[in-house]
């Protein structure tokens, strides 16, 4: 899940394994217990507490940001196709250039479209057009495909979202991303032996590896 990569990036930005991915500054005692450490990635109990903008951290917990240079990691959840107009409007608003610093987009899709290739391609083309309408060519992009499935994956999804389907999707999207001049990061191989508590989502260790792979890419293109 891309939001877990963003959460892991925030863990690294804040150097906080316990609460780095979540808005711990407004937590109740119960939330501090339920969303600590690995539980930050619980898609049911803690998903709404994720950090959507580094600017929010700067506004509420400035001292927790370890980066010396100003950054702003922003997450937008745009998963449906056709994409609702208000979601594209929000994207356009978020990516208005505020400085001359490089801008990178980490894109992800797949399970929301049930790994239907054409649906993901249609989604990707609309998003890329929206980005180019605002920034032209002054940005760089990376498309991340889903990680491997685990043994707890419900049987109902094995055919459409099992490991064979994931591998075929990853291979095809890698080709299509290259045709659109964006990089591709496949995560099936790195995650096949990782812990997946529900057969879908990686634990914190797996997500931190994904985040470090993204940082390595950013270092290459930066």
Question: Looking at residue 156, which CATH number applies to its domain?
Answer: 3.40.50.1110
More confident residue, 200 or 48: 200
- For the chain, what percent of residues have pLDDT higher than 70? 100
Q: pLDDT of 167-213, one tens digit each?
A: 999 999 999 999 999 999 999 999 999 999 899 999 999 999 999 99
Range scoring the smallest mean pLDDT among 9-18, 45-54, 134-143, 199-208: 45-54
Residue that finishes a domain, picked among 22, 47, 70 = 70
Question: What is the number of structural domains in the chain?
Answer: 2
Domain boundaries, position 165? 76-222
- Answer yes or no: do 187 and 213 share one domain: yes
Q: What is the model's pTM?
A: 0.94
Domain stops at, among 22, 48, 70: 70
pLDDT at 91 over 90: yes
Residue 222 above 80 pLDDT? no
In 3D space, the residue among 60, 98, 71 whose CA is nearest the CA of residue 6 turns out to be: 71
């Amino acid at each position: 899940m891309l939001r877990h990569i963003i959460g892991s990036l925030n863990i690294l930005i804040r150097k906080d394994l316990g609460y780095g991915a979540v808005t711990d500054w407004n937590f109740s005692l119960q939330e501090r217990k339920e969303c600590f450490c690995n539980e930050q990635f619980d898609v049911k109990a803690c998903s709404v507490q994720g950090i959507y903008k580094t600017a929010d951290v700067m506004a509420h917990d400035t001292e927790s940001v370890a980066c010396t240079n100003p950054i702003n990691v922003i997450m937008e959840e745009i998963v449906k196709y056709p994409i609702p107009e208000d979601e594209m409007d929000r994207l356009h608003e978020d990516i208005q250039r505020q400085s001359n610093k490089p801008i990178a987009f980490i894109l992800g899709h797949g399970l929301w479209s049930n790994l239907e290739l054409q649906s993901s391609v249609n989604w990707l083309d609309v998003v890329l057009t929206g980005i180019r309408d605002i920034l032209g060519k002054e940005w760089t992009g990376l498309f991340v495909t889903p990680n491997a499935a685990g043994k707890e994956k419900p049987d109902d999804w094995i055919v459409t979202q099992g490991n064979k389907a994931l591998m075929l999707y990853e291979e095809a999207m890698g080709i299509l991303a290259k045709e659109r001049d964006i990089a591709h990061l496949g995560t099936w191989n790195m995650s096949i032996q990782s812990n997946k508590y529900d057969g879908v989502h990686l634990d914190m260790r797996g997500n931190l590896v994904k985040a470090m792979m993204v940082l390595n890419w950013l270092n290459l293109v930066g």
